[in-house]
Structure 1
């Protein structure tokens, strides 16, 4: 018999209070998808409606990546009345053969292994929205049930319960489950037909009770994706019949691409036609690459970054800017948006200076002036972009700023300096709008400064050189404005200090009829007069009566 060396839990708790018994036994290692279920917010942002929608985006984006590669042209998104969601595509289908390292089928690897997929530079996707290899596996981990079917010669099927593969004997997430089942082969499919179907039930143990899918948000995302991938048809079918409104189906397909998207987003009257600025650039980065022996070796690779921008200026004042990386929206911007805004402001300033539409004394316009009334869609495509987090809201690839700035600057300058009649007139209108925005901004700031200056003058104390009178009776008091200190000395000897006040000023002051209010308020002599007379009007019980005079 061996002695029991375990420590009672009460003893551990007592020791932990003073930190003396913190050892490796207190550390917890989460394996596989356990980490996702333990900390879902790290992968999908939150467990409310926003996180529920993010799970759907992950599955849809996998299908869209097939469309980006030219392998898919039709996607169906179905909201079933039992609370499940299904995404179908006619792409190549998830690989069903055995992955040599794990000994698992490709479907099981994609659905159960974090950071596994065909988007790590292996040549399967030149550009994609899914990059971290966690999208499908995260959705699987956070689903009470997930069914996947792949058409590749025959229909291959596999089901999961909270990330564990197996077989459900009945329909629905609460059906009896056998965890011993693997990938199953079904009936044959017509030759040439391939695709993937994923249907899942979100796990209500993870998501909040009031979390729900928004049909309106889904329509917006489907419409946006159809704009970004010309020729792709996305069908959204709602079979839930919520609140008795009935079932619905919407189809989205746009062959005009982001030019049509820009027109759709713009709400004001156009100042110029939609401009399409396209180009590309290359950059180098060092990334770990898997060699033949399975080792990750740091290797310097050359990347290509494609830039495609659609923009147009309108008569309005608001700026509408949508940015995307491999069709993934980046609502919080990133390096590609920084490069775009930098190029717009710099190029417009250069052309304004060369065309002498800005006076020499005027400052350069700022970014907000150039972007006023602008509607733009900024898209970049590259392999393995660096995002800040799994939610992919901000692009972090530093080279994107330089490449986007160069492409936009070159293409926009060509438009703004064009000698063609129509383009020249439109460019002139755009430049005049930017100048007008800058001058309006400056005038508004000057007006605000003037108001602040005026308020400061009204609330400040009386000028130090004012020779005030003793009387508080405004009706009897008088103010004499004299020229300089010498005249002040003479006037003091002649005045009646009981009711006569004296204010010296320096010679001839500003001609306020020809000057702006701002310049007048900046003038020290005008400011002194305003202080004295304004104080008398605002507080007659403590000041003098405004009256004017001149010393001889």
Structure 2
């Protein structure tokens, strides 16, 4: 029997235009989903849900809507309902599509690019809803607007109509919105239900109820007056929880703290502005670098306790930034400087002693929030704020407000300020003593391990 011919492992030496692949519209999302949602496991599945929820929260931030419902259905789908203005249903002039179709089928399209609809928002890249649509086997939208209920559906990003329930129902492509009935007078809002595409997501990817509840609670603190209702219908028994907090980040700070308080919650608030150069379309359709004036609002809650752990939560327009960014860098820099300046006028710190950031962070619980239009994030997952000016503005606000508290002569502030200054000085001395102890142990270990002559053995101690 003749030996099999070995397969050639050589690459095609030619390289020309026919080797190039052009991905149109939402094809790029399905081809490389990790670029948009980070991964295709449970983490990516939850990220898609955050995108839809954050759009509803942005409406509440803009003053529209006071309730958001999230329902995890038995069939694996998830539904998000709000009572806001409703996605626009009129025709967008450039694409000749309805506002709903633009939002769900066009990347980098939406109302958060400086059009005046949102002063501050969690979504800014204009890819959230369209990415979720592209990665869904089925997505249904209902919009109450202008006294009419408008509806449409999508299959993997393509608009059309299903002939039954669920993601496996028959589908006919079709453009445009359909009238589904009349909305009650004065009622507006949006309902989105989608089935994640199992061709994209891993088999074990699932919505995490506990993570969803934690995020809902967090958001209710960040947007006072907004009610978020989470309902899980997947198990034998239906589970439902509701969150609404009018106390804002002060209440959030108290919720996060686990130790006995040394100070009450202190609010550090202020604003700043900066100039940012951004490319903008001119009348001829060309991108021109343009200087734009931006406002940045700073609102921070801090509280010191008698514990040793540090808890710092940071947010930009209600979007959590777990890996920090320029706003957190400015906050931490100002903390050290404020305490150093405040201690200069006291006798608490002896000559030669100094405090560092870790001394101030010990026992600190804080919630750092900033609001600005079109923030710069590192990537679509928005875990790190990159806007350079945020560091300077946050540091300035924190230093001014915190120093005023630490040096206040008001009775209600003076005792707390003294207590936290003493705590920070004590932390500094403990740190120095611990370092000296380690150095002594290191030297002792080095001597004991060295080979000394017998007549010098007694000199080791």
Q: Place the TM-score, normalised by the shorter chain, in its bin.
A: over 0.9
Cα 1:292/1:147, change in 2 over 3 Å? farther
Q: 1:450-489 alignment to 2 at 5 Å?
A: 450-462=440-452
Residues 164-212 of structure 1, C-alpha deviation per residue, up to 9 Å, x if partnerless? 0000010100000001243111211122211111000000111111111
In the alignment, which of 42, 45, 55 is matched to residue 62 of structure 1? Answer: 55
| Larger-Rg structure | 1
Q: For 1:290-329, what aligned pairs fall within 5 Å after superposition?
A: 290-292=281-283, 294-329=285-320
Cα deviation for residue 19 of structure 1 reads 5.4
Deviations 1:498-537 (A, max 9, x none): xxx5xxxxxxxxxxxxxxxxxxxxxxxxxxxxx62166x9
> Which runs of structure 2 are paired with 1:211-230 in the superposition (5 Å)?
211-230=205-224
State yes or no: 1:180 paired with 2:170.
no
Tell me, yes or no, if structure 1 residue 429 matches structure 2 residue 419.
Answer: yes
Cα pair 1:387 1:394 within 8 Å, conserved: yes
Please give the alpha-carbon distance, in whole angstroms, between the structure 2 residues aligned to 1:336 and 1:431. Answer: 24
User: RMSD of the alignment, in Å?
Assistant: 1.5
Counterparts of 1:99 and 1:321 in 2: how far apart (Å)? 42
Q: Which consecutive unaligned segments of at least 5 residues does structure 2 have? A: 1-6
Shift of residue 408, structure 1, vs aligned partner: 0.4
Q: How many Å apart are 1:18 and its aligned residue? A: 5.6
Query: 1:4 corresponds to which residue?
Result: none
Distance between the aligned counterparts of 1:96 and 1:432, measured in 2?
60
Q: TM-score, normalized by length of structure 2?
A: 0.96
Q: Which residue number corresponds to residue 194 of structure 1?
A: 188
In the other structure, the counterpart of 2:269 is 278
Counterpart mapping for 1:355-504 below 5 A? 355-362=346-353, 364-462=354-452
Pick 1 or 2: higher relative contact order, CA cutoff 8 A, min separation 6: 2
1:498 counterpart residue number: none
1:350 is displaced (CA, Å) by 1.2
Alpha-carbon distance in structure 2 between the residues aligned to 1:205 and 1:290? 38
Q: Is the 8 A contact 1:148 1:199 kept in 2?
A: yes
Q: Which residue of 2 aligns with 1:48?
A: 41
Task: Tell me which of 32, 43, 53 is aligned to 1:39.
Answer: 32
> Could you list the per-position Cα deviations for residues 355-395 of structure 1 after superposition, in whole angstroms to 9, with x for gaps in the alignment?
13211122x21101001000000000000000000000000
In the alignment, is the contact (CA less than 8 A) between 2:224 and 2:246 conserved in 1?
Answer: yes
Deviation at 1:295, TM superposition (A): 3.9
Q: Distance in 2 between matches of 1:17 and 1:82?
A: 48
**Residue by residue, what CA displacement relative to the aligned partner does 1:89-136 show, whole Å, maximum 9, x if unpaired?**
011111111111111111001000000000001111000000000000
**2:84 alignment partner in structure 1:** 91
Q: State the distance in 2 between where 1:155 and 1:296 align.
A: 38
Q: Work out whether residues 97 and 176 of structure 2, in 8 Å CA contact, stay in contact via their aligned partners in 1.
A: no
- Name the SS for the 1:185 alignment partner: strand
Match of 1:248 in 2: 239
1:79 Cα offset (Å) = 0.7
Matched positions, count: 454
Structure 1 residue corresponding to 2:15, chosen from 22, 27, 30: 22
* Structure 2: distance between partners of 1:181 and 1:410: 56
TM-score using structure 1 length: 0.80
Give the Cα separation in 1 of the matches to 2:415 and 2:98. Answer: 62
Match of 2:326 in 1: 335
Q: Tell me which residue corresponds to 1:150.
A: 143
Alignment counterpart, residue 255 of structure 2, candidates 264, 268, 272: 264
Kindly tell me: are residues 87 and 292 of structure 1, through their superposed partners in 2, closer, same or farther at Cα, counting changes over 3 Å? Answer: farther
Q: CA distance change for structure 1 residues 291 and 124 in 2, over 3 Å: closer, same or farther? A: farther
In the alignment, the residues of structure 1 paired with residue 301 and residue 50 of structure 2 have an alpha-carbon distance, to the nearest angstrom, of 24
Between the aligned partners of 1:316 and 1:86, the Cα distance in structure 2 is 41
Distance 1:186 1:214 in 2: 32
Q: C-alpha distance in 2, partners of 1:18/1:98? A: 49
Shift of 1:66: 0.2
C-alpha separation in 1, matches of 2:80 and 2:266: 35
Contact 1:273 1:312 in 2 (8 A): yes
Q: Which residue of 1 aligns with 2:458?
A: 533
Native 8 Å contact 2:304 2:364 kept in 1: yes
| Pairing partner for 1:346 from 334, 337, 343 | 337
